[in-house]
Amino acid sequence: MQSTPPASRASITGKAGEPPIIEIHDLHKSFGMVEVLKGVSLTAREGEVVVLIGSSGSGKSTLLRCINMLEVPDQGTVKVAGEEIALAGRPPHRHVADERQIRRIRSGLGMVFQSFNLWSHMSIIDNVMEAPLHVQKREKGEVRGEALAMLDKVGILDKADVYPAELSGGQQQRAAIARALCINPKVMLFDEPTSALDPELEVEVLRVIKLLADEGRTMILVTHDMNFARTVADRAIFLHLGRIEEEGTVDEVFGATRSTRLKQFLSAADHE
Amino acid sequence: MEIFVPIVTDLEFLAKPSLFNLYFAFASIPAGFVLAVFMALGKASSNKLISTLSRGYIYAFRGSPFFIQLFMFYSMALAFNMSLWKPLGIDWLMLHPLFLGPAILVLNTTAYTAEIFYGALMTVPKGEVEAARAFGMSRVQQFRSVVWPHLIRIAWPAYTNEVVFLFHATALVYFTLPVIDDQKDLMNKAGELFERDYNAFLHFSVAALYFLVISFAIFFVFGLVYRRLMRHLPQVQKIRFLPRWLG
């Protein structure tokens, strides 16, 4: 089954000519009796920045976590760079069918979490080098050089040898971004990267993400920050109760909002 | 200085026997440690059968006195002598207290240590394990890189306790198992000295002194290890193993 969206929708992205790198088709996911995703499809193309917005419980984080199978969907398919992730079994015991395949795919997806999730017993440089060395099996000298370059890029090169507990939240999140960058990911996945941060620390993280967007990296970003979504994204997707309520370019979604739900959501976000 | 003479004499008498207590403890600690890791993972397993068996084992050995376990396993070892050990030609090993003692201690300490490790396993930060998963680590890599370093750090103070208890439990071994030649431990030897002059206070106090000193050494070494395990958490108040007046 072909999972690219209809031509009319693809053409509004502005990156329509690029090959699709994430293709999600008809995703369903329930937690117990609660159906969190009710048939969601989306495509992200190379170089595109897609933001997922919506109120709490709309399913946006779950959708993001289905891309690297941290959550296994009950139904539907996920393709990364044209390769469909093999699943087996019936819900609620549906699971990844091929461990090797998912590990290979995951090592091409850089994930940044809301709560940073740095490995607290490793120094920052070891955090950044861990996956390139032990998952991707790359050569140590090369990885170290790249890790230092990434730390420099996110502005915490001087913190390479300290432990995460000694850093501020903003620094920890930037370290987490460097960790995700160091695997040379095809796509960066951000799960509410600034929600756990104070406003003044938020800025430094947002600046780094903006930098990555300007570099032309493919990114999928779940965020509560509408202003940031507007400045960073090519395309916005508004989820409501497990369905895509509205999607389009940033100008369309924020400038010429069609659905009343999104209008309500945006005006509520403005008053925050 | 006269009063120190019997103490020094007892210290000399009990020096060699203390080696047997040390032997029982240190012959069983490594095996118990390794088996406990698997037993804890077994208890946490999503496989129902493995989990139930592990829980059952841990419950049985934590739920009954070690003293009784010694009697049970010794009598079982004796019961199988004619049918198994002798035909197999291993009766010299299976009935030897220097084998049977550590073996039963291992069975016991595995259960206690497994429970400690299981508790620690449950408090390993979920987010960090999830990050390991998201970066494509296999189950084994997740365990080695993320789960184990947390687990052992969290478990270490309680494990230190278990090691000291185990060492003290070695005092019970020869209440059940036979002493071969002069392979007496601290309790045997103190008992023997007691029977000579009925000075229970002197002989058992000196035996206790050996336990105190060796326990102190265990606390000290394990404290050093703990300091190393905690090196990434500079702000956290460290657990003291030494009394305050010893720095």
Over 80: is that where the pLDDT of B241 sits?
A: no
Q: What angle do CA A160, A161, A167 make, to 5 degrees?
A: 75
Helix (H, G, I), strand (E, B) or coil at B141: helix
Q: So what's the pLDDT on residue A200? A: 87
Q: What is the pLDDT of residues A90-148, one digit of tens each?
A: 988 899 999 999 999 999 999 999 999 999 999 999 999 999 999 999 999 999 999 99
CA distance A130 to A147: 10
Q: CA B145 → CA A134, A135, B128, B138, B149, distances in Å? A: 9, 11, 10, 10, 7
Angle between helices B4-44 and B148-169 (to 10 degrees): 140
Q: So what's the pLDDT on residue B233? A: 76
Over 50: is that where the pLDDT of B32 sits?
A: yes
The full DSSP string for B175-209 is HHSPPPTT---HHHHHHHHHHHH--HHHHHHHHHH
Q: What are the structure tokens assigned to B40, written together?
A: 């804890």
Question: Which residues sit opposite A191 in a β-bridge?
Answer: A222
Q: Do A165 and B134 touch (CB under 8 A)?
A: no
Going by their DSSP bridges, the two strands A187-191 and A109-112 should be labelled as parallel
Give B149-154 contacts, CB < 8 A, sequence gap 24+: B149/A121, B149/B229, B150/A120, B150/A121, B150/B120, B150/B123, B150/B124, B150/B125, B151/B117, B151/B120, B151/B121, B151/B124, B152/B120, B152/B229, B153/A121, B153/B226, B153/B229, B153/B230, B154/B119, B154/B120, B154/B123, B154/B124
Closest CA to A212 of A182, A237, A236: A182
Q: What is the pLDDT of residues B132-178, one digit of tens each?
A: 999 999 999 999 999 999 999 999 999 999 999 999 999 999 998 99
Residue B145 Cα, gap to closest chain A Cα (Å) = 8
> Quick one: closest CA in A to B228, which residue?
A121
Q: So what's the pLDDT on residue A14? A: 53
Over 80: is that where the pLDDT of B238 sits?
A: no
Q: Do A165 and B233 touch (CB under 8 A)?
A: yes
Q: What is the pLDDT of residues B40-75, one digit of tens each?
A: 999 999 999 999 999 999 999 999 999 999 999 999
> Quick one: closest CA in B to A109, which residue?
B135
Residue B99: CA count within 13 A, CB half-sphere = 8
Q: In B, what residues contact A, Cβ < 8 A?
A: 125, 127-128, 130-138, 141, 145-146, 149-150, 153, 232-235
CA distance B93 to B180: 13
CATH code for position B195: 1.10.3720.10
Please check whether residue A120 touches B, CB under 8 A. Answer: yes
Q: Is residue A171 packed enough to be buried (19+ CB in 10 Å), middle (13-18) or exposed (0-12)?
A: buried
Strand order from edge to edge, sheet including A243-249: A109-112, A187-191, A219-222, A49-53, A235-240, A243-249
Q: Do A121 and B232 touch (CB under 8 A)?
A: yes
Contact yes or no for A245/A39 (Cβ under 8 A): no
- Give me the percent of chain A exceeding a pLDDT of 90: 80
CA distance B234 to B247: 19
Closest CA to A60 of A86, A87, A42: A42
CA distance B222 to B163: 10
Over 80: is that where the pLDDT of B234 sits?
A: no
Q: Do B141 and A163 touch (CB under 8 A)?
A: no
CB atoms within 10 A of CB A6: 7
Q: So what's the pLDDT on residue A204? A: 92
Q: So what's the pLDDT on residue A129? A: 97
Q: What is the pLDDT of residues A251-267, one digit of tens each?
A: 999 988 888 999 999 98
Please check whether residue A117 touches B, CB under 8 A. Answer: yes
Interface of A with B in 129-148 (CB under 8 A): 130-131, 134-136
Contact yes or no for A222/A64 (Cβ under 8 A): yes
Q: Do A106 and B149 touch (CB under 8 A)?
A: no
Contact yes or no for B117/A90 (Cβ under 8 A): no
Q: What are the structure tokens assigned to A238, written together?
A: 């508004």
CA distance A50 to A228: 12
Decide which of A130 and A2 is more confident: A130
Q: So what's the pLDDT on residue A15? A: 64
Instruction: Give how many domains chain B has, as a whole number.
Output: 1
Query: Which amino acid would we find at residue B148?
Result: W
Could you list the residue range(s) of the whole structural domain that residue B183 is in?
A: 4-246
Residue whose token pair is 């740095």: A118
> Quick one: closest CA in B to A164, which residue?
B232
Which residue in the set A68, A103, A163 is minimally distant from B232, CB to CB? A163
Which residue in the set B135, B150, B233 is minimally distant from A106, CB to CB? B135
Going by their DSSP bridges, the two strands A219-222 and A187-191 should be labelled as parallel
Strand order from edge to edge, sheet including A34-45: A34-45, A20-31, A75-80, A83-84
